[in-house]
Structure 1
Amino acid sequence: MARSVEERRRRIVDIVAQEGPQNARRLATRLGVSAVTLRRDLEHLASVGSIRRRHGTVEPLGAPSIAGPDAPTIGLVLPESNYYYDGIIAGAKRAAGAAGAKLVLGVSDYRPEKEIHQAERLITKGVDGLVMAPTPDFATGWLVPSQEERLAQLRVPTVFVERTASPGGPCALLDTVNSAHDVGAAVGLRHLIQLGHRRITALMISGPNSPWVREGLLQASAHAGLEDPQIIMEGTPGSDEARAAVLQTIEDGTTAVFVHNDQLATRAILWLEDAGISIPDEVSLIGYDDVIAGMADVPLTALDPPKREVGRRAVERVLALCGGATSSAVSPADGGATQHIRLVPELHVRQSTTVPREPPRSSDCRR
């Protein structure tokens, strides 16, 4: 059997074990194989007892326990339920299922008043604990003081995901499970630097984690003794407003573009290709989030924050705090000391990054 087939089948087993049941069609798309190829893989894995197949899905052999009437209930308050947060929800569901707990979702649409309302509503309905991603100031990445005061007064154990409370505020005493976005961005920039890129532009959305991504980029460039990367903001979300500025910086000598996030990176691919700029031969492109990066027209090298691990650990932590822990590693009585957990994103190198091109002759420059 070819090594690539063995590796793919091991990955299938790992995905199912870590994330729970998978839709077979979506799994084939995720792995980049045909439905026929995946069916053969699943038939083999089921025959050797590695997975269980059922009605278009593939499941782990150790199915999660079903929540009973006395099971703890955890409220999950997130700004949205798709794209980035799909992974966090998947990890949270896996942890809740393994512990026999119930999970109830509330969506805040990035509105601080709505997320407080959702949290209080869930508490009134009797949840035992909360996992939340409150909406910070997009310019700073911090929760605002008045928001912290209200969040700190919630009446059940609460764990934040992908959010950082100010060290001097009351929410600093709440547990947090975050992706280390500054470290992830720095890993991505170092990848470009190690390839030989010295003129790097950052194309950025305005989002809750953008300040930390920017900080990682600046620290990595300073550590390498380079000038700070030129930062271009997306402008109106979903727009092409940044297109002209990106093309101009490439004309001025940029050889690599770091893009936060995947959705913006897929638009940047179109901007460059429409301008006749080859990726990665003329310009390398690296994305952040790794939700859809591998499905781009040019599969994107990208940083993958450990979204499922964040969701899993947050639910496990809040269960420990509210007395629903199944592990003796944490005392359910008090949960131990407050924990601020930071998990480092992983770099996935694909087809969009390579060594920089030779500097163009003046006659080659695009106008």
Structure 2
Amino acid sequence: MRLHVDQRHERVLALVRERGSLRVAQLAAELGVSAVTLRRDVETLAAQGKVRRMHGAVLPPDGTPAENRASAPGSGGAVIGMIVPTTNYIFADIVHGAREAVEAQGGRLVLGMTGYVDGEDPVRAEHLLAGGAEGLLVAPSWFGGVPAAGQERWLMACEAPVVLVERSAPAGNPAAALDRVRTDRAHGAALAVSHLASLGHRSIAALLQDGPHTAGITAGYLASVRSLGLETVPGSPSVRTPGAEFDESVRYLVEAVERHGVTAALVHSDEDAIVLVPRLQARGIGVPEDLALIAYDDEVAALADVPLTAIAPPKRSVGELAAKLLLQRLAERGTGDVPAPRRHLELLPELRVRASCGGVRGTPGLLPVSRA
């Protein structure tokens, strides 16, 4: 049965009071009216000072305390903003994990993307908060994975709770005081090197993409090479600039095999490894016969012509735990409870063994290892 205009207005006000923030399109669908009709209703209510309308969202009027709009986990209604540089690669699963965790508690995840454009993060944050987001999950466009030249300032000025996702800040930087959830990429690199060493490889190279995760993977690779007493490979790790041609990377690996006796390599990412394998084969270097390979990320590694052994970050779990941590912070605000200590969560990746490393023997002491 169609609602009378006054009934619609009452229903809109009740939903906004209950949930704190709603999209106009969502309200229209819920009330069974067109978006045009619902926008007219919202404009009328906004003119009367009963609601606010911002960027396609309906919010409670000014003066309603944010604490009263934040919903405790399980009570529903929390609107969570999430800022990521892209929804490709690892972030697709991270976003899915966060969305499932938020929706499981009756909330809604709203996404903003920055495209790795420096300075776009605070713009996206302002837009999400103006649209009703009560807290933010943020993977800032910090190319080195940590803030540089004051990139953290806008985060520290943000009044809404913030959880960093797959990013960190060094001790002494103000952003180090923020909650964060990320993958321990150094552990993943060490896991790869240890597995290759367990198969008898003593000279292991690394070829990495330059980006937010390079430092962590490099640290794990070098630490593992030292601790296992492996040979040092000249120029390793070699780092490829995003967008650069692969010719230099191919030359590096060919030279490593032919001149330095390298028999195995860690390659970040899957896509780079998939591109490199046929080019190496064209130069007479077979995988895994002449060069065992382990890829890092496990997005598409299993689909390669030679299925790639890969390090698999727990992507969905990163998103899920980050969202649950943020919902906890919102609940603490809403109830006035003393906040629990800030948390730095690091999740361990796993090794998925396939054909490209030429063996299936696990790595003692560095579990988990799975067959995929």
Q: TM-score, normalised by structure 2?
A: 0.72
Alignment of 1:109 with 2:94, yes or no, is no
Query: Which of 134, 137, 140 is 1:131 aligned to?
Result: 137
What is the deviation of 1:234? 2.0
Query: Aligned runs of 1:66-145 on 2, under 5 Å?
Result: 71-138=77-144, 141-145=145-149
CA contact (8 A) 2:90 2:297 kept: yes
Aligned length: 283
Compare 102-111 and 145-154 and name the one that shifted more: 145-154
Indicate the SS of the match to 1:112: coil
Provide structure 1 residue ranges, at least 5 long, that are not aligned to the other structure.
1-66, 326-330, 356-367
- The aligned counterpart of 2:39 is none
Indicate the SS of the match to 2:290: coil
What is the deviation of 1:110? 1.1
Query: Which of 157, 177, 184 is 1:180 aligned to?
Result: 184
RMSD (Å) for aligned C-alpha atoms:
2.2
Query: Aligned runs of 1:127-206 on 2, under 5 Å?
Result: 127-138=133-144, 141-206=145-210
Provide structure 2 residue ranges, at least 5 long, that are not aligned to the other structure.
1-72, 360-372
Change (3 A) 1:272 1:334: farther
CA contact (8 A) 2:204 2:231 kept: no
Query: Which of 239, 259, 268 is 1:260 aligned to?
Result: 268
What is the deviation of 1:97? 1.4
What is the deviation of 1:258? 0.6
Percent identical residues: 36
Q: Which amino acid aligns with 1:212?
A: G
Indicate the SS of the match to 2:262: coil
Indicate the SS of the match to 1:111: coil
- The aligned counterpart of 1:304 is 312
Q: How many Å separate the matches in 2 of 1:344 and 1:119? A: 29
**CA deviation digits over 1:235-267, x for unaligned, max 9?**
352621322122111112110011011111111
Query: Which of 354, 358, 364 is 2:358 aligned to?
Result: 354
Q: How many Å separate the matches in 2 of 1:135 and 1:185? A: 23
Alignment of 1:322 with 2:330, yes or no, is yes
Q: Which amino acid aligns with 1:118?
A: R
**CA deviation digits over 1:115-160, x for unaligned, max 9?**
111012111222110000012242xx42115111221111100000
Query: Aligned runs of 1:229-248 on 2, under 5 Å?
Result: 229=233, 230-237=236-243, 239-241=245-247, 242-248=249-255
Change (3 A) 1:277 1:123: same
CA contact (8 A) 1:321 1:335 kept: yes
What is the deviation of 1:227? 3.5
- The aligned counterpart of 1:32 is none
CA contact (8 A) 2:75 2:106 kept: no
Q: Which amino acid aligns with 1:291?
A: E
**CA deviation digits over 1:151-180, x for unaligned, max 9?**
111110000011011210111111000100
CA contact (8 A) 2:76 2:106 kept: no
Q: How many Å separate the matches in 1 of 2:140 and 2:324? A: 19
Indicate the SS of the match to 2:94: helix
What is the deviation of 1:69? 12
Query: Which of 219, 235, 239 is 2:223 aligned to?
Result: 219
Indicate the SS of the match to 2:205: strand
CA contact (8 A) 2:185 2:349 kept: yes
CA contact (8 A) 1:260 1:288 kept: yes
Larger radius of gyration: 2
Change (3 A) 1:335 1:98: farther
Q: How many Å separate the matches in 2 of 1:181 and 1:219? A: 12
Q: How many Å separate the matches in 1 of 2:149 and 2:331? A: 29
Change (3 A) 1:260 1:87: same
Q: How many Å separate the matches in 1 of 2:179 and 2:107? A: 19
Change (3 A) 1:198 1:68: closer
